[in-house]
Structure 1
Amino acid sequence: MQISMWKTFYIKPNEIGILYHRSDFKKILQPGTYTYFGRYWQVKTYDLNQPEAKIENLELLLRNHSSELQQYLLVVRTAFNQAALVRFGQNWISIAPNQLRAFWRGFIEVESHLFNLNESLELPAEFVQQLRGIALSGIKKFQISEYEIGLLYVQNNFVRPLEPGEYAFWVVDREVSVRTLSRIVPNPDFPLEDVLIERHPEFVAAYCEIVQLQNQQVAIARYQSKAIAILPPCSRKLFWQGVEVEVIDISTDAKLPSRLIAELVTGLPEALALSRYCLHICEVPTQHVGLLYVNQEFQTQLQPGKHAWWVFGRSLQTEVFDLRQQTMEVSGQDILSKDKVPLRLNLTAGFRILDPLTAKNSLSDITNYLYKELQFALRGAVGERTLDALLEDKGAIDRSIFDYIRQKTTDYGIEVDSVGVKDIILPGEIRTILSKVVEAEKAAQANVVRRREETAATRSMLNTAKVMEDNPVALRLKELEVLERIAEKIEKIQVNGSLDSILTELIRINRQ
């Protein structure tokens, strides 16, 4: 059997081949039929529908046969600081640094673009548009809306701001991120504000308003005439341009003028929420007075109205006093009278504060002091009197307590106008005894009155009898009066004879 020494190779129309002899590159074969003599010929074919030429030992082949291969291959070689984009037809691929890639020419349109990553990580705008909707490894895309601005960070270091639009960056060997801030919000949370202020003054000057306050300064930031932020002393803050900032010196006077009270205290709820932790607010009602203490020292009296102070760097305290007549109840006081009778009393006192400053500086608790002194006065007034004396003259207790409490309160700027015992409550058994005593007294009084009336009636009857004895006409009138009373009780009367006979018979009946 004779072995043929000829070898025939067929390259399809959509293929390309590489001819090797004993593993040595010889040439590129276009589509067609090829015959070679010898046993050591071989051909490796590649489908041109797959544009990338995944050739073994490509680096060695390019080194020895570069000129011949360049006719058929688009070779892309990236250094450590380079990346590339390759377009074949409508498709794109990205190539990372330190890569060697090859693509067949001619069958599909192929083009490559090399990028120096040391110069810029950002892809030009024309590539961003062409890559829209295509996800590629090593490339990160960002969309900045029209109401936003983006802050570009590379390796967590701020690079520059990004205006609204589409952006793409190489992220093959470093971290790239974009933090978006709303331009609608005038005071967004700028990331690392101090770094932006210190290291990137060009960005701050182009986009921001900066507020830097001294030790005794406060600032109010307003946007479109509405307060959006209150800044404490020694602070600094960034705002978008267009924000108005009012800096206030609080070194000599920390009290807010009326215009700021109207804006921050009685204005919009949002403004009050901003100033909640920045202001000490005191409202003094009508017929009241307020006392202001700064760092535990009295400063001034406050007239009715709303008052506010900046709290930074100082301790503020206010107290409001009612100048109107006030009432105090001392209830349920169990006290023994001089004759050891247990009593329960309720007392009411009317007072007013005349000098709030004296009262505040002299007494730690005004109402508690008054309550205790009224208790002492009530116990003293009741304990030195017997039950009978108390019941006979309750006003004496009031006068005693009034004299005592006025002496105790005059030096403290307090005036007691009235004192009165409302109730004296006796124990049950004492009430029973008193009821019996009163009942006996009233019964004796009733008996005396009854005897006096009986005596008067008898004397009157005697006088009447004497008059009728001496006067027949009066006697006859009395008889008619008796007859009238009798007639009132009889429904029907039949009279036989004269009136004299009737009266004679009646007289006779009475005598019988």
Structure 2
Amino acid sequence: MFRRHLTVQPDENVLAFRDGVLLGVFGPGRHRRRGRTRVVRVDTRRRLLVLAPQDVLTADGLGVRATLAVRWRVVDPVTFHAAATDAEAEMHLAAQIVLRSAVAAVDAENLAARPDAVGSAALTAALVPAATAVGVEVDEVVLRDVILPPAVRDARTELVTARTRGQARLEEARAETAALRALANGARLLEEHPALARVRLVEAAGPGTQLVLHVGDDARA
């Protein structure tokens, strides 16, 4: 006999058990509830799992710290409830294993230079089997941060600084070369055209300056 009602919210599913037997899965809405019925509510909203920084080894044996973010949601509430005593802990462990395997396949230099060297699609695909086993659908897995050891960070900073200084010196040398080339071209032009040299001299002279120009055998003041 139905004795009372069960209200299921839009963001959940409810598992109904009676005498240890699953009676059914109820979606959002108002449902009749039999006596001695035990209910288990399962949140179906999207969730975010963020791993704390993990100490992992790269392909070349360098220890780094990395974090992983997983967006997931429950799509099979029965499996989510029955497959493990703590399905979220299972997801956490699976994400740790995926992170370690992914970082171990890339060397430290590539990982530091290109954080996307471990693609989101590959990480997601690697986590799907473990997630499916507990009734979870994985929307996205992202490698958030890669933290190099201090000595490696300092070495990379020195390398970038040296490259920047070298580039600055190269640009300075190019500018000096261009200036010298312009001076040489100007000197050649003045040598080939003496009249132009005299015009430049007049332009460069300040007001009130007395100039004596020699043109052939004539002299003018």
Which TM-score band applies after superposition, normalised by the shorter structure?
A: 0.7 to 0.9
> How far, CA to CA, are the matches of 1:437 and 1:285 in structure 2?
57
Displacement of 1:286 in angstroms is 2.3
- For residues 266-277 of structure 1, the aligned pairs below 5 Å read none
Of residues 7, 27, 41, the one that matches 1:303 is 27
Residue in structure 1 matched with residue 159 of structure 2 by the alignment: 437
> How far, CA to CA, are the matches of 2:208 and 2:143 in structure 1?
77
Higher Rg of the two aligned structures: 1
- For residues 405-484 of structure 1, the aligned pairs below 5 Å read 405-410=127-132, 412-471=134-193, 472-473=195-196, 476=199, 480=203
Q: How big is each residue's C-alpha offset from its partner over 1:123-171, in whole Å with a ceiling of 9 and x where there is no partner?
A: xxxxxxxxxxxxxxxxxxxxxxxxxxxxxxxxxxxxxxxxxxxxxxxxx
> How far, CA to CA, are the matches of 1:377 and 1:462 in structure 2?
65
* Partner amino acid, structure 2, of 1:293: F
Contact map agreement 2:112 2:148 (CA 8 A) in 1: no
Residue in structure 2 matched with residue 380 of structure 1 by the alignment: 101
Contact map agreement 2:80 2:87 (CA 8 A) in 1: yes
Root-mean-square deviation (Å): 3.0
Relative to 1, partners in 2 of residues 1:410 and 1:309: Cα closer, same or farther, differing over 3 Å? closer
Higher strand residue share: 1
Residue in structure 1 matched with residue 10 of structure 2 by the alignment: 286
- For residues 31-70 of structure 1, the aligned pairs below 5 Å read none
Higher helix residue share: 2
For these two proteins, the number of residue pairs brought into alignment is 211
Of residues 342, 345, 348, the one that matches 2:66 is 345
Residue in structure 2 matched with residue 360 of structure 1 by the alignment: 81
Structure 2: which 5+ residue stretches go unaligned? 214-221
Matched position secondary structure for 1:369: helix
Relative to 1, partners in 2 of residues 1:291 and 1:315: Cα closer, same or farther, differing over 3 Å? closer
* Partner amino acid, structure 1, of 2:93: K
Matched position secondary structure for 2:157: helix
Relative to 1, partners in 2 of residues 1:407 and 1:461: Cα closer, same or farther, differing over 3 Å? farther
Relative to 1, partners in 2 of residues 1:334 and 1:462: Cα closer, same or farther, differing over 3 Å? same
Displacement of 1:408 in angstroms is 3.0
Matched position secondary structure for 2:53: strand
Contact map agreement 2:59 2:107 (CA 8 A) in 1: yes
Higher relative contact order (CA 8 A, sep 6+): 2
Relative to 1, partners in 2 of residues 1:429 and 1:478: Cα closer, same or farther, differing over 3 Å? farther
Matched position secondary structure for 2:59: coil
Residue in structure 2 matched with residue 389 of structure 1 by the alignment: 110
Contact map agreement 1:294 1:316 (CA 8 A) in 2: yes
* Partner amino acid, structure 2, of 1:441: R
Contact map agreement 1:479 1:503 (CA 8 A) in 2: no
Residue in structure 2 matched with residue 332 of structure 1 by the alignment: 53
Contact map agreement 2:58 2:105 (CA 8 A) in 1: yes
> How far, CA to CA, are the matches of 1:474 and 1:316 in structure 2?
105
Displacement of 1:305 in angstroms is 4.6
Residue in structure 2 matched with residue 26 of structure 1 by the alignment: none
Relative to 1, partners in 2 of residues 1:503 and 1:284: Cα closer, same or farther, differing over 3 Å? farther
Contact map agreement 2:69 2:144 (CA 8 A) in 1: yes
* Partner amino acid, structure 1, of 2:23: Q
Relative to 1, partners in 2 of residues 1:420 and 1:467: Cα closer, same or farther, differing over 3 Å? farther
Displacement of 1:477 in angstroms is 5.3
* Partner amino acid, structure 2, of 1:377: V
Matched position secondary structure for 1:444: helix
* Partner amino acid, structure 1, of 2:57: L
Matched position secondary structure for 1:344: strand
Contact map agreement 2:87 2:134 (CA 8 A) in 1: no
Matched position secondary structure for 1:331: coil
Relative to 1, partners in 2 of residues 1:320 and 1:413: Cα closer, same or farther, differing over 3 Å? closer
Structure 1: which 5+ residue stretches go unaligned? 1-249, 258-281, 488-494, 505-512
> How far, CA to CA, are the matches of 1:315 and 1:474 in structure 2?
108
- For residues 208-287 of structure 1, the aligned pairs below 5 Å read 250=1, 253-254=2-3, 256-257=4-5, 284-287=8-11
Relative to 1, partners in 2 of residues 1:309 and 1:315: Cα closer, same or farther, differing over 3 Å? closer
> How far, CA to CA, are the matches of 1:289 and 1:387 in structure 2?
44
Displacement of 1:328 in angstroms is 0.9
Relative to 1, partners in 2 of residues 1:479 and 1:365: Cα closer, same or farther, differing over 3 Å? farther
Residue in structure 2 matched with residue 203 of structure 1 by the alignment: none
Matched position secondary structure for 2:153: helix
Displacement of 1:388 in angstroms is 0.6
> How far, CA to CA, are the matches of 2:91 and 2:82 in structure 1?
15
> How far, CA to CA, are the matches of 1:430 and 1:315 in structure 2?
60
